[in-house]
Each structure stands twice: as structure tokens, then as C-alpha cells.
């Protein structure tokens, strides 16, 4: 598993010194206080859409990514396909998906939407749940079949939520071996992982990968205006990822509507401001749920009008959400199992039934 070498402590130190801090310095949960925030990834505009560098992959991805869960929510397949087509026409090239979304329906719909020449226009990502090699390999092939493609650009290990997950993935018969074999076979280009529970578990995933001489291409986690105050992925994980050359994919900018509902009701911020805050962090893409043309237009407009928020603007916005963010009451993905699909369906992980 020595396909890539990991960076040592000297590189980590250099990255920390060179980076610039863009979040509140007195955040309650700065798990890595010596690590400063890195600069924004290299960004270019093509038409009205900004595109950012995806770590060390050499790829440029749209600043807005189309969330895979929400394109499986429409009652009619045709509506989902129209959304995907409109997103691509609007400049979105990052397509998110997962083996388990709506029991595979999201992948099936995306596969149909990308047929007819659109597959080559997007950077296609999906995620798998399986922890044993055999389960992971089966899920990879099932995802490829649903997506009607011979490869995905990015495969991610989904819901790294438990402290045992890294050891299971990198175990002697763990899922990493299925991913590497799929990569060697041309089924997978890049490899990453996701999670939304606790930043320390993400750091443990990095540490276990380091021990095996492996470097992840990407990491996906929550990035929002409340995260800085409670179990902050932004403060703890982004610097650690950057030091390893790993690209960050942001998600849950609206907190699955709970954060958005609160800030709109309190007059703290608008949906566009929440997206602009997420885009102002050193992430390659903000993946957001889009289930209607109205929401798609909102996301595209946010990308078109985006200018990085100043440090002072970010401090003001973060200060206004500090009290509400306490205890993670609007980040239920951190404090409950409501959004933990693999907790509700442990069989997706490949767990053996209890005797």
C-alpha cells in the first residue's frame, strides 16, 4: 500500500507556518491550535462559474457541487434528470453520489442523466459503505453499473463515524484493498473519505493512513457558520488535510436546513451568505443539496456573485452564530444518529448479523 508516501512532521510544520488564519482565533474547539488555515485553492473562472484545484489531482472542479442525495428525492425520474442537465449547463461539473442513496435510486438517475455524452463533462464521485474488502468491491461494481460508466473519478469511503472505522478500512482484509485494486483496474481514479460526526475521527483516519504509507486525494466534511464553535472540522481537519496535499470537499453548509432555518428566522444571514461563507474557506468545492430548479438557481447565483469574504466579515458572522451553535443543536449530524445511514443499516458496512 505504498502507492504514495505521506508527508512528515517537517512538512506539517512548514504548512502551518505558511498558512493564513481566516476563522475566529478563539474558537471553542480548535483541535489543532498550532495549525493555521491554508490559503484558498487556485481558482479560475470559466464563464460565470469559479473552478478550484482539487488538491494534487490536477483536476479543476466547480465551486458548487451537486449533492447526490437530493437528486433522488423527486417523485418523477424525469425531474431529477432535468435538474442534473440544468446543473451541467450552468457550469457545475462536480457530481456527488453514494451507493446507498435512496437504495441506489440516486445513482440510477444520475447514470441515465449522464448518458448521451454528458459523462465526459463531469467529475463523477460516489461513495461506498463496505468495510470488508469483499463488500466494498461488490459495492464499487454495483455503483458503476448504476451510473452506467466504466469508472468514477473519485471513490470515497462513506461515513467514517466511528473510531474503529479507520482500522477496519485499512485492515488486512479491509476496503482500502478493494479501492486500490479498482484503481489499478481503471475503475477508480482518486480515493477519499467522508464523515460528519467528530473531527478527531477524521484525524485518526489520516493517522492510520499515514501508518500505511497512503495519502488520500480528498476528504469530505461539514463546513458551515456553526462548525467553528463545536467539534470544528474546519479548524481541525482542513489544515491537516492541506499539509498532506489532500483536497477538502465541504458539505452541510445549510445543516440539512436546520442552520438555514435558524439564521433566516433570526435575521442573521441569508442562504447566499451561508454559501459564500463556505466558499470563503479553503475548500475545493461546496457540495449542496439541490432538489428543485429554484434551489439550483440560488446555488448558481451564489457562485456567480461570489467574492471571498474578508476575515472581518467572517468574524462578524461567526460571532453572531456562536451562542446558537453551542452544543451542536443545529448540527444534528454531529449530535444524533439521525443522519447516520450506516447506523440505521449496519448491514451496509458488511457487519455480520448478531447471533
Q: 259, 285, 294, 287: which is closest to 273 by C-alpha?
A: 259
For 57-100, write each residue's pLDDT tens digit: 999 999 999 999 999 999 999 999 999 999 999 999 999 999 99
Residue 121 lies in a domain: yes
| Full-model pTM | 0.89
The pLDDT-based confidence of 353 (bands split at 50, 70, 90) is: low
pLDDT at position 351:
85
* DSSP, res 217: S
Lowest mean pLDDT among 22-31, 117-126, 316-325: 22-31
Q: Are 124 and 154 in contact (CB under 8 A)?
A: yes
Domain count, the chain: 1
Residue 50 lies in a domain: yes
The pLDDT-based confidence of 195 (bands split at 50, 70, 90) is: very high
Helix, strand, coil shares of the chain, percent, nearest 5, are 45, 15, 40
Is the pLDDT confidence value at 349 over 60? yes
Residue 311 lies in a domain: yes
Residue 16 lies in a domain: yes
Between CA 226 and CA 209 the distance in angstroms is: 29
Q: Residues 331-336: what's their mean pLDDT?
A: 92
Is the pLDDT confidence value at 235 over 60? yes
Residue 354 lies in a domain: no
pLDDT at position 317:
95
pLDDT at position 352:
74
The pLDDT-based confidence of 256 (bands split at 50, 70, 90) is: confident
212, burial (CB in 10 Å: exposed 0-12, middle 13-18, buried 19+) = middle
CATH code of the domain containing 232: 3.20.20.100
Domain with 83 in it = 9-338
Letter string b/e over residues 227-262, b meaning 16 or more CB atoms within 10 A of that residue's CB: bbbbbbbbbbbbbbbbbbbbbbbbbbbbbbebbbeb
Beta strand segments in the chain, E: 43-46, 49-53, 60-62, 64-66, 94-95, 123-128, 152-157, 188-194, 218-222, 247-251, 285-288
Residue 132 lies in a domain: yes
pLDDT at position 354:
54
Residue 235 lies in a domain: yes
The pLDDT-based confidence of 338 (bands split at 50, 70, 90) is: confident
Residue 349 lies in a domain: no
Q: Residues 309-320: what's their mean pLDDT?
A: 95
The pLDDT-based confidence of 36 (bands split at 50, 70, 90) is: confident
Q: Are 161 and 201 in contact (CB under 8 A)?
A: yes
Q: Is the dihedral of CA 57, 11, 127, 155 positive or negative?
A: positive
Amino acid at each position: 500500500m505504498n502507492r504514495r508516501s505521506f508527508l512528515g512532521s517537517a512538512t506539517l510544520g512548514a504548512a502551518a507556518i505558511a498558512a493564513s488564519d481566516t476563522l475566529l482565533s478563539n474558537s471553542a474547539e480548535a483541535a489543532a491550535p498550532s495549525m493555521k488555515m491554508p490559503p484558498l485553492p487556485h481558482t479560475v473562472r470559466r464563464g460565470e462559474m469559479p473552478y478550484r484545484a482539487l488538491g494534487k489531482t490536477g483536476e479543476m472542479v466547480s465551486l458548487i457541487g451537486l449533492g447526490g442525495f437530493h437528486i433522488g428525492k423527486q417523485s418523477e425520474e424525469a425531474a431529477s434528470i432535468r435538474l442534473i442537465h440544468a446543473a451541467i449547463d450552468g457550469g457545475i461539473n462536480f457530481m456527488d453520489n453514494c451507493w446507498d442513496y435512496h437504495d441506489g435510486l440516486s445513482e440510477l438517475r444520475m447514470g441515465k442523466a449522464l448518458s448521451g455524452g454528458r459523462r465526459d463533462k463531469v467529475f463523477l464521485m460516489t461513495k461506498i459503505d463496505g468495510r470488508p474488502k469483499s463488500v466494498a468491491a461488490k459495492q464499487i461494481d454495483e455503483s458503476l453499473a448504476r451510473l452506467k460508466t466504466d469508472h468514477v473519478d473519485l471513490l470515497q469511503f462513506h461515513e467514517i463515524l466511528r473510531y474503529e472505522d479507520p482500522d477496519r478500512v485499512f485492515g488486512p482484509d479491509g476496503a482500502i484493498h478493494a479501492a486500490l485494486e479498482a484503481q489499478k483496474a481503471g475503475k477508480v481514479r482518486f480515493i477519499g473519505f467522508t464523515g460528519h460526526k467528530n473531527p478527531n475521527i477524521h484525524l485518526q483516519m489520516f493517522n492510520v493512513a499515514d501508518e500505511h504509507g497512503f495519502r488520500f486525494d480528498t476528504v469530505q466534511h461539514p463546513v458551515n457558520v456553526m462548525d467553528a464553535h463545536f467539534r470544528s472540522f474546519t479548524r481541525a481537519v482542513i489544515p491537516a488535510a492541506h499539509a498532506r496535499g489532500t483536497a477538502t470537499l465541504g458539505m452541510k453548509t445549510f445543516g440539512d436546513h436546520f442552520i438555514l432555518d435558524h439564521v433566516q428566522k433570526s435575521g442573521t444571514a441569508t442562504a447566499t451568505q451561508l454559501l459564500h461563507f463556505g466558499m470563503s474557506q479553503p475548500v475545493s468545492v461546496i457540495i449542496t443539496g439541490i432538489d428543485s430548479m429554484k434551489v439550483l438557481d440560488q446555488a448558481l447565483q451564489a457562485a456567480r456573485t461570489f467574492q471571498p469574504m474578508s476575515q472581518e466579515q467572517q468574524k462578524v458572522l461567526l460571532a453572531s452564530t456562536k451562542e446558537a451553535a453551542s452544543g451542536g443543536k443545529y448540527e444534528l449530524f454531529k449530535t444524533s444518529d439521525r443522519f447516520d445511514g450506516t447506523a440505521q443499516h449496519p448491514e451496509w458496512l458488511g457487519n455480520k448479523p448478531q447471533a
